Chain A
Amino acid sequence: MGEVILTMKGIDKSFPGVHALDHVDLEIRKGEVLALMGENGAGKSTLMKVLTGIYKKDEGTITYEGKEIEFENPSAAQEAGVIIVHQELNMLSHLTVAQNIFIGREIMKGSMIDDAKMNEEAAKLFKKLNIDIDPAETMGNLTVGKQQMCEIAKAISHEAKVIIFDEPSAALTETEIEELFKIIRDLRDKGMAMVYISHRMDEIKAITDRVTVMRDGTYVGTIITKDSTKDDIINMMVGRVIYEDPKTQSNVPKDAPVVLKVEHLNAGKMVKDVSFELHKGEILGFSGLMGAGRTETARALFGADPKDSGDIYINGQKVDIKSPQDAVKYGIGYLSEDRKRYGVVVGKTVAENTTMATMEKFMKGLFINKKKEDEVAWTHVKALKTKTPTVDTEVVNLSGGNQQKVVIAKWLTRDCDILIFDEPTRGIDIGAKSEIYTLMNELVAQGKSIIMISSEMTEVLRMSDRVIVMCEGRKTGEIDISEATQENIMHMATLRK
């Protein structure tokens, strides 16, 4: 374990009405990967923004390479070698890889940009990092994983001394994550100091050396990764113990009727001949790697994207679903993986979002019955324990978990019998996660049926009664929960043609 390169001590930061950071400490060492963990809103991002000069700290000191410093702005931080690789990639998809890496400091030949030279330099850089990417390739043609690697390469080319990874794995496949880890280990061996922010416990265990935990804007503590268990870390994060036991047995009676039957569904490149059945009261897990076609299957089923062929039966009746309107009419609700883009209308209130799919129930003649709308919205707020000051609060002000609850409320108002949860807990902190799980269990107990798409193995094993596994647009396996293991699911998820 190397020497300390950067120390943050007693960092304090307040925004109007929020004490975002309360005297937080952090120590980053050379040749080490430090995990920074905490639930959403714990202050991780704020701390990193203070470090890189996006926010000014109110109090505290930052010592970097033995000198006390305060970066004026992110480019000053970059100049000094402190670089963030963001969760959302800041890539210009129309430019080439090399052009992206050298953006803002193009290599010139006279007054012209020397693309050949930039390609050459980028190629050297990739070679050093053992990354296999063509520098002349257009960025938009790369997978998210490759793009991430370009971002890392870019950081290295800035002569980074400290690299901060902000949820780097959120959009990566298992293989890509492995490649990423290889690069990170390689950099660590070369003495790079790194901070790794993630929600995924497995990755923390796999890649980091120490874990610093934050909670509610305060510093909780730092532990050595290999000396601690998952539960230790979780306990530090939430202040309480949560057990994530897998389900061992299906809760669905053997004779439960089939509520939804999909036969030979084809849609675009990502859905190829998918057939399955969903029973009343069942949680049907859809597992697979990124890009396996699970979301696309759900969207085609819901009418959000056009389907090429295939039949859908609801309660034994063949139905023709051409648009989300049709799907909603047949009692299907869809909770998108990307809530901000497809789930909630963030600029509208909790009440307005709740009634979005069921407007006609709230009409009094030509006008909206605001009183009834508010009442119903309140009922759901209470039932789902949504944390919102009023139902007239704009959804943009709620946390991810509470936004998810608003979307659930929308479909509950609609009285949907079939709910598609696409990554129901993505970006949601651990406390809220278990509330969503409880809610899903209550829903199936009431006789509703759920299709749950999830990329988190623990979630699939914990929630599903049955698991369907997809790979490259095809269904590659179907297994009862009693027989499902992480290993056999992963095996099916990688059954390429």
Chain B
Amino acid sequence: MAGNDKKSKNFLVSKIGGQQLIVLGVIVALFAFFCIKSDIFRSYTTILSMLDFSYFVAFMAIGVTFALITGGNDLSIGTGMVCYGIIGGFFVTKLGLPVTVGFVITILCGVLMGCFNGFLVAILELPPFIATLSTMMIARGLGSIVTGGSSITWPADAWFKNIFKISIGEAKYPLGFVWVVLAVTIMTIFLRHTKPGRYIIAIGSNKEATRLSGVNVIKWHMLAYIICGMFTGFAGVAYSATFPTIAAGSGAGLELDAICAAIIGGTSMYGGSGTIFGTLLGVYVMSILKTGLPLIGLQANWQQIITGIVLLVAVFIDVVRGKKN
């Protein structure tokens, strides 16, 4: 393990020279800027809220990074996340099953949708954009059908809500951040130091050359989407833990937050390169902007424009990098 740590550090040092170091700098600068500009921003509760609202984006973003690395995309994660949370909650509130079962169902739904996306992209070879655009719509409708169009409120005392935020006395701690960091660590090791991770990157870099090396590209390509789906399931759990009521048919647009985060974090839209750590950084750039901009009195539409510009810059860096290669 020590060896691996050292390697990943070497890796970071070699790669961090690029986009990630910039993004880290951007995070520090933004954080400092908002702290200076707004009293409310520097309060512990604001930071706590910011973290609360970042877990589901972080899980989605980790997942979608895998789809992006294969050179694809997954647009179904936003509506999917909401849909899985609703279906899980439906089993608990309407059918009276234990919370744990609903929890498992939520994640399972994500995995199943991942399998379906993988089937469409890896086996039927549909363009990922269109394939997942379709499943995005399917997910959106599916949640509404299951609940008959109404929203779902998970039980307020569902146990998994406590694994994201723990209260000790009066104080509350963002335990969810620990899970996010853990997920980032595990998936980084997975991506860099295991065979499936290696193949997923290779597929994004050059699928045909990988296939001609005797690698079962269909299997590993599918796996990338299954991982994406599984993490969307996790996101569904986190979303359900954060927001008490989930409206059926909502969630469209949230996938863009996650995809933006991954791209800001240095994942290439051309596939073949990206890091989970970078994605996490991207998530927090988005979170800080989303929390901070309203606090400095910027009106809603300007917030979106600024977020758009940040994404443009990130995409521009990616394109420049792509040209260099």
Contact = CB atoms under 8 A, between A and B. Distances in A.
Interface of A: 302, 304, 323-325, 327-329, 334, 336, 341-348, 352, 356-357, 359-360, 363, 366-368, 370-371, 396, 410, 414
**What is the predominant secondary structure among interface residues of chain B facing chain A?**
helix
B194 A366 contact: yes
Given A345-B205, A347-B205, A367-B193, A302 B273 contact: no
Contacts of A363: 195
B214 A329 contact: yes
A456 to B, nearest CB: 23
Given A359-B215, A368-B194, 19 more contacts: A324-B211, A328-B214, A336-B209, A342-B206, A344-B206, A345-B206, A345-B210, A347-B205, A348-B272, A356-B202, A356-B213, A357-B214, A359-B199, A360-B195, A367-B4, A368-B195, A368-B198, A371-B3, A410-B213
Interface residues of B, number: 25
Nearest to B218: A323
Most buried by B among A302, A342, A344, A396: A342
B198 A302 contact: no
A348 B3 contact: no
Interface string B125-164: 0000000000000000000000000000000000000000
A347 B4 contact: no
B180 to A, nearest CB: 22
Contacts of A396: 325
Contacts of A410: 213
B201 A348 contact: yes
B193 A343 contact: no
B208 interface: yes
A336 B209 CA distance: 9
A367 B189 contact: yes
22 contacts: A304-B211, A324-B214, A324-B215, A341-B206, A342-B206, A343-B212, A344-B206, A345-B209, A345-B210, A346-B206, A346-B325, A347-B205, A348-B201, A348-B205, A352-B198, A356-B202, A356-B215, A367-B193, A368-B194, A370-B3, A370-B7, A371-B3
A342 B209 contact: yes
Nearest to A302: B212
3 smallest CB-CB distances across A and B, nearest first, come from: A328-B214, A347-B205, A356-B213
Interface of B: 3-4, 7, 189, 193-195, 198-199, 201-202, 205-206, 208-216, 272-273, 325
B212 A342 contact: yes
Nearest to B202: A345
Given A324-B214, A347-B273, A342 B193 contact: no
B272 A347 contact: yes
Contacts of A343: 209, 212
A263 B3 CA distance: 51
A241 B87 CA distance: 76
B213 A328 contact: yes
A177 B315 CA distance: 44
A470 to B, nearest CB: 21
Contacts of A366: 194
A345 B205 CA distance: 6
A414 B206 CA distance: 20
A357 B213 contact: yes
